[in-house]
Amino acid sequence: MKNMFRTTVLLASLTGLLVLIGDYFGGTGGMIIAFLFAVIMNFGSYWYSDKIVLKMYRAREVTPAESPNLHKIVDGLALKANIPKPKVYVVDSGMPNAFATGRNPQHAAVAVTTGILNLLSFEEIEGVLAHELAHVKNRDTLISAVAATIAGVITMLATWARWAAIFGGFGGRDDDNGGIIGFIVMAVLAPLAATLIQLAISRSREFAADEEGARISKKPWALADALEKLEYGNSHFKPGIRDVQAKETSAHMFIVNPLKGGTLQSLFRTHPVTDERVKRLRAMRF
């Protein structure tokens, strides 16, 4: 409940930021246009985000005959989680990782890479997929898509505003524009704030999925062991020519961050620190 409340507050903050930036650059009309644009983008995200991401990573759906152990795990976990069985996909990449997608439990999919299948044991894969089904059960896949879409709209509007300022300014406000400081806040700091809020939502939902996934599988230690292996495996992964590589725009979807961090890694982290996740899981008892 605490994580869900925090997520709701953060989503409301993103929406409020979008309305403010629309109001600043276009007055009441701009505010309405920004809001309607976000609604349209979220509608597209709701219906097509799963298809987009699966196609982006060239995921292929596998049958029970092709991957019997994988389907056996998903069958059992879906039953325990009391949700419909999601479609099962495999991504041809040595990168050891997994993700879930879909607008609701009735239209969901889980995907694992060939790298994770080669790295983890049966019970560790079970822990990972329990985490992913927790995302599906909690509708985190939709929450993440909405947060990413709103943050993307804010960044897009700010970019347009900067270009408009370069080529002769922008108008349409109902009152004074607040000067250069206001412009900097809305055109530069607003998209930064939107990104940080989106990442905070992502981190919050990862903790919740760890806990719910451990409750589904009743094996928190299996997920903890898997996370330690995946953290090491992704940090040392060197993609081959045929490997599908992770994209920055969808890095938050994976169970561990597939991208190597830079100097601002902590500030722009898509996932909680793995050591903290492992610590919480190892403290859980059933």
To the question of whether residue 71 is assigned a binding role by annotation, the answer is: no
132 is catalytic: yes
How many angstroms separate the CA atoms of 233 and 258, rounded?
9
The token pair at 169 is 């300014």
Sign of the Cα torsion 152, 153, 158, 160 reads: positive
| Backbone dihedral region for residue 45 (phi beyond 0: left; psi -120 to 50: alpha; all else: beta) | alpha
To the question of whether residue 206 is assigned a binding role by annotation, the answer is: yes
Which residue in 126, 132, 211, 212 is the catalytic one? 132
How far, CA to CA in Å, does 192 sit from each of 17, 39, 177, 281? Answer: 11, 21, 21, 32
Pairing between β-strand 98-102 and β-strand 60-61 as defined by DSSP bridges:
unpaired
The arrangement of strands across the sheet holding 87-91 comes to: 60-61, 87-91, 108-113, 98-102
Q: Identify whether the C-beta of residue 242 lies closer than 8 Å to the C-beta of residue 92.
A: yes
How many angstroms separate the CA atoms of 262 and 47, rounded?
34
How many angstroms separate the CA atoms of 241 and 194, rounded?
34
Q: C-alpha angle with apex 274: 239 to 141, nearest 5 degrees? A: 75
How many angstroms separate the CA atoms of 186 and 54, rounded?
34
- Residue spans of beta strands (DSSP E) within 5-84: 60-61
How many angstroms separate the CA atoms of 48 and 257, rounded?
23
How many angstroms separate the CA atoms of 54 and 43, rounded?
18
The residues annotated as belonging to the active site are 132
User: Binding site for Zn(2+): which residues?
Assistant: 131, 135, 206
